[in-house]
Chain A
Amino acid sequence: MAEAEAKLVEGATGSWEVIIGIECHAQVASNSKLFSGAATEFGADPNSQVSLVDAAMPGMLPVLNEYCVEQAVRTGLGLNSAINKQSVFARKNYFYPDLPQGYQISQFELPIVGEGEIVLDLAEGAQRTVGIERLHLEQDAGKSIHDQDPALSFVDLNRSGVALMEIVSKPDMRSAEEAQAFLKKLRTIVRYLGTCDGNMEQGSMRGDINVSVRRPGEELGTRAEIKNVNSFRFVGQAVEYEVGRQIDLIEDGGEVQQETRLFDPRSGETRSMRSKEEAHDYRYFPDPDLLPLVLTDEFIEGIRATLPVMPDQKKARFIEQFGLKPYDAGVLAGDKASSDFFEKVVEGRDPRLVANWVTGEFFGSLNKLGVEIEDAPISADNLGELIDMISDDTISGRNAKDVLDIMLETGDAPGKIVEEEGLKQVTDTGAIEAIVDEVIAQNPDKVAEVKEKPKLAGWFVGQVMKASQGKANPAAVNKILAEKLGL
């Protein structure tokens, strides 16, 4: 697939190239924190998931969570990255009330994962490969709440110490669309791997977007960083705004400042964060409370052996093996639960029919109900059974939709529902003929009209369907009508 061409943005004085890099913070899906045994679950009572280590009490010490290390390696492998067998935890020193130690334990010169890449799925089947610079493990900070009191900020340390994977891209993205696609793909990958739940509303995945502009062919411009963007939509809006802001600024003779900005969803604008530390000097040094992390080949290969088939490979397989359209293949492969579900249903069935029903009616209904596929009230077997009943003409396509709705409500098997509701499709040509005869007999004027306007046959079909309560097999109806009306 050819790499997408870079789009340029038109300014007042000419074209501009947009350079975007993203630092994504993804919370590691684990039971306990990176360096303490406190729980990580979202939404707990304030300061109830805080150990003495997380609260940075005097004399407290960190102990590394093995599972978080595995998850980082797993993610690195999913990003086609090099795993560094030796990595070092370093302290990043700065003061902030949600950072009780006065430093964050992170990784600096020797991160656990090195260079890799992701393929972005863009509009109309276009793709772009974006490089990954590195992935490292670090502690998340607590939460400060600034709007509870006019004079005070409130601090909750539940999140303090939760394991984060910081995934740094190379500055390979060229548009808001690509920035969104990057985060979407990254989210898909970590959800596939089970290393992060990718829940942006809850903050388990957030992105810092670095944006700069330049004239094509010239040196990189100064970049601004938009911090903590937590929805795809906001990413798109923030980038669009920031690109416009920077272009206008430069074309008006100004200079872009290297600074941290926040995106305000209400105004759709980015604004500069009032920074107390003009120059961030984090004074990184290896954490003397921790020893270098050394991974063996066995450890790494052991994790590689447990990797699921990844979304890009699944999509390719769906296209090749099942003949699905790239769009449908992408939708199904884009989420592990969905692709698992599809693969169960498709066994022994017409893949395109299954794909149509799963991505169309089924996903549509789930969306309407606001239910995730993991919580779907219909089993793969039951959906498969329904599709079988369509394939062998037991019910009509139209009635199948109704049956699906009842299945979603009751969780019952389709066979049971069809019996109870008497929805079996009528294919018996004799019965259909009888209904057709009846309709023809009752509408002689239409019968005459249809000879001149053949399209009116559709009206007859409708009448037959109504008379049969939708159970008549449409193909049979058409055939019989055509005969009897002499079309």
Chain B
Amino acid sequence: MSVDAATVRKIATLARIAIKDEEVPPLVGELNQILDWVEQLGEVDTDGVMPMTSVADITAPLRTDAITDGQKEAAVLDNAPDAREGHFTVPKVVE
């Protein structure tokens, strides 16, 4: 399966990464090189094989329902590029 410029742009949009026009052709080339290479996985017969869910052979550990966290606005907000009035801010979102 290979990608074209339109697909690369679409993926970049899904991934929220701006790409300039001149960056597209080299990306198409690089991605296709990698995708062509991983294509060989299709050769492997995986009928009846379960996908690996985890390397560790355990199931989900569970936690007691206690309030053990929060009340740390400073820790949560201090690294923010633009926090105001106890909130994170972003360019206005129009719904």
Contact = CB atoms under 8 A, between A and B. Distances in A.
A283 B13 CA distance: 13
Interface string A74-98: 0000000000000011000001110
B76 A55 contact: yes
Contacts of B82: 152
B65 A97 contact: no
* Chain B interface bracket (under 10, 10 to 19, 20 to 34, 35 or more): 35 or more
A150 to B, nearest CB: 7
Interface string A130-163: 0000000000000011100111111111000000
Interface string B56-95: 1011111111111111110111000010111111111111
A47 B68 contact: no
A36 B69 contact: yes
Given A64-B62, A291-B56, A291-B58, A153 B89 contact: yes
B51 to A, nearest CB: 8
Most buried by B among A37, A145, A290: A37
A274 interface: yes
B41 interface: no
A196 interface: no
A288 interface: yes
A265 interface: no
Nearest to A290: B60
B69 A262 contact: no
Contact of A292 (B53, B66, B89, B95): B53
A27 to B, nearest CB: 14
Interface in A157-174: 157
Contacts of A292: 53-54, 59-60
A31 B69 contact: no
Interface of B: 14, 16, 53-54, 56, 58-73, 75-77, 82, 84-95
Contacts of B86: 45-47, 156
Nearest to A28: B65
* Chain A interface bracket (under 10, 10 to 19, 20 to 34, 35 or more): 35 or more
Contacts of B87: 46-47, 145, 154-156
Contacts of B62: 64-66, 69
Contacts of A146: 92-95
Contacts of B14: 281, 283
A152 B95 contact: no
Contact of B65 (A30, A88, A95, A293): A30
A71 B29 CA distance: 51
A149 B56 CA distance: 49
B76 A31 contact: no
B63 A66 contact: yes
